[in-house]
């Protein structure tokens, strides 16, 4: 197989044609993609009630391979009637994600009964009866209610309300496993749990860090913004143990007269972000003491004013320890420090390469502190951007799919329904200690 040298471009167009053939032709896929709908993967770029393939800024055509994959998956036929009789749970576990997705759509509920190695399709009536009988036989605290970001806000609101009326706060959504570390880390650092920048801010930045992620594959809507920022002269630094092709060169088929955009000014750093990384802040502090330029001297005074705790943390660390624990050579840290010290509008973005760690909260706190040291936390075209894979994880969290409701929301719900909800609690320690459920 020939190695690709860029992301996007005409290979992405050819991929679209292949997916169209899989679902019955280009016209059928075109009609589905142009329907009034949100993108099934990121909730952007599909135009909503304006019609598909129009992004939130009104650009057309705006579509990515992820959106095509999701649509084609939803358009495929149902799973064969004998599928679950043929494949046991161990066999299904051996399938790749791609193989599982290509098996077809689920068209009915399935149940895995205690002691069985095979799922069994059941009717919706039987499924609802089983759920009702189970809920009436156990205590509310023994239940756990989980929602995906693919849910609509209305369905999510009703399910979390049902859970609380039933008597439990054991409610959560998929973002807990993705960016809860970002929410907690940002709240402790800046007092807010979400991004401090918009996409428009990112296009006006002069330096963008993309840490622990591959937007070219997993967050394609962001690529238009990164391409725009790069064409505006921004320097983009990707920190990732793997050099992702789409984050080095990326082509847009509509721009035939322009070559693929080289996104990175620094090669992807081979660093595993497994714990706090004070090296860059440490280098900034040392760089500020040098008399190389006025900016570094000013930067040093900013650190002395807004980051005494960071100075206290970094001061005793040796460069040997920093290099060993970060996996990044000192020369590369020096290079990034010079870029950051010269930047006036820096954006720090990160994904689950930062948050899916035992020290995920500490990783986010370190990034936020580094931004605040140079006052890049809340200024125009600069700030913090946790990159979420599906936009509606924000929506379902806002409508209450979280173990801890805000006081104002809790009071309004109790007033509206004339009841007292369960006291606040964190559902995750309970869920982590619960054995894998099996249907009776």
Q: Whole-angstrom Cα distance, residue 239 to residue 419?
A: 50
The 3-state DSSP class for residue 38 equals coil
Predicted confidence at residue 45, as pLDDT, reads 55
For 68, 171, 231, 404, the CA distances from 399, given in Å and listed in that order, are 28, 12, 38, 12
Q: What is the pTM of this model?
A: 0.75
Q: Would you give the distance in Å from CA 24 to the centre of its chain? A: 32
Predicted confidence at residue 14, as pLDDT, reads 83
Residue with the two structure tokens 């576990």: 93
Predicted confidence at residue 285, as pLDDT, reads 46
Predicted confidence at residue 373, as pLDDT, reads 80
Predicted confidence at residue 425, as pLDDT, reads 61
Predicted confidence at residue 206, as pLDDT, reads 93
Q: Whole-angstrom Cα distance, residue 261 to residue 236?
A: 11
Every domain of the chain and the residues it spans = 9-74, 77-128, 138-174+403-433, 179-386
- Asked if the peptide bond before residue 61 counts as cis, ω within 30 degrees of 0, the response is yes
Averaged pLDDT, groups of 10, the chain, 440 residues long: 70 82 88 80 64 77 79 88 94 93 91 95 96 95 86 88 92 80 87 84 92 81 84 88 75 51 44 44 44 38 54 81 86 89 92 87 90 75 84 75 86 89 63 44
Predicted confidence at residue 44, as pLDDT, reads 60
Residues 6+ apart with CB under 8 A from 394: 175, 194, 388
Q: Whole-angstrom Cα distance, residue 377 to residue 306?
A: 12
Tokens of residue 339, six digits:
């870029």
The domain 179-386: what is its CATH number? 3.40.228.10
DSSP letter at 327 equals -
DSSP letter at 2 equals P
Q: What is the DSSP string of 143-203?
A: --EEE-TTS-HHHHHHHHHHHHHHT---EEETHHHHHHHHHHHHHHHHS-SS-S--HHHHH
């Amino acid at each position: 197989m020939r190695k690709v040298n860029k992301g996007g471009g005409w290979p992405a167009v050819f991929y679209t044609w292949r997916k169209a053939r899989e679902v019955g032709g280009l016209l059928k896929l075109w009609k589905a993609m142009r329907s009034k709908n949100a993108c099934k993967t990121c909730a952007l770029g599909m135009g909503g009630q304006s019609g598909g393939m129009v992004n939130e800024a009104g650009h057309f055509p705006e579509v990515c391979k992820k959106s095509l994959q999701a649509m084609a998956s939803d358009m495929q036929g149902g799973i064969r009637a004998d599928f679950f009789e043929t494949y046991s749970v161990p066999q299904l576990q051996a399938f790749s994600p791609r193989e599982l997705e290509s098996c077809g759509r689920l068209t009915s509920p399935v149940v895995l009964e205690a002691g069985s190695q095979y799922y069994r399709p059941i009717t919706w009536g039987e499924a609802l009866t089983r759920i009702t009988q189970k809920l009436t036989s156990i205590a509310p605290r023994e239940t756990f209610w989980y929602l995906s970001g693919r849910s609509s806000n209305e369905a999510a609101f009703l399910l979390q309300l049902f859970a609380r009326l039933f008597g439990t706060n054991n409610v959560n959504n998929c973002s807990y496993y993705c960016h809860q570390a970002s929410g907690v880390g940002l709240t402790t650092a800046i007092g807010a749990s979400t991004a401090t920048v918009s996409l428009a801010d990112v296009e006006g930045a002069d330096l963008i860090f993309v840490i622990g992620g591959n937007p070219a594959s997993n967050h394609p809507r962001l690529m238009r913004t990164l391409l725009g920022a790069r064409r505006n002269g921004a320097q983009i630094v990707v920190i990732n143990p793997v050099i992702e092709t789409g984050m080095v060169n990326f082509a847009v088929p509509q721009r035939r007269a322009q070559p693929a955009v080289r996104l990175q000014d620094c090669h992807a750093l081979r660093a595993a972000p497994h714990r706090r990384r004070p090296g860059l802040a440490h280098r900034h502090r040392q760089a500020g003491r040098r008399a190389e330029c006025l900016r570094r001297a000013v930067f040093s005074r900013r650190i002395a004013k807004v980051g005494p705790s960071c100075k206290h943390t970094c001061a005793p660390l040796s460069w040997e320890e920093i290099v060993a624990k970060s996996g990044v050579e000192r020369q590369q840290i020096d290079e990034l420090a010079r870029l950051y010290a010269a930047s006036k509008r820096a954006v720090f973005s990160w994904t689950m390469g930062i948050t899916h760690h035992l020290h995920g909260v500490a990783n986010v706190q370190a990034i936020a502190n580094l931004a605040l040291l140079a006052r890049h936390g809340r200024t125009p075209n600069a700030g913090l951007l946790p990159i979420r894979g599906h936009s509606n994880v924000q929506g379902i969290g806002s409508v209450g799919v979280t173990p801890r409701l805000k006081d104002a929301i809790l009071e309004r719900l109790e007033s509206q329904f004339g009841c007292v909800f369960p006291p606040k609690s964190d559902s995750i320690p309970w869920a982590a200690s619960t054995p894998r459920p099996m249907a009776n």
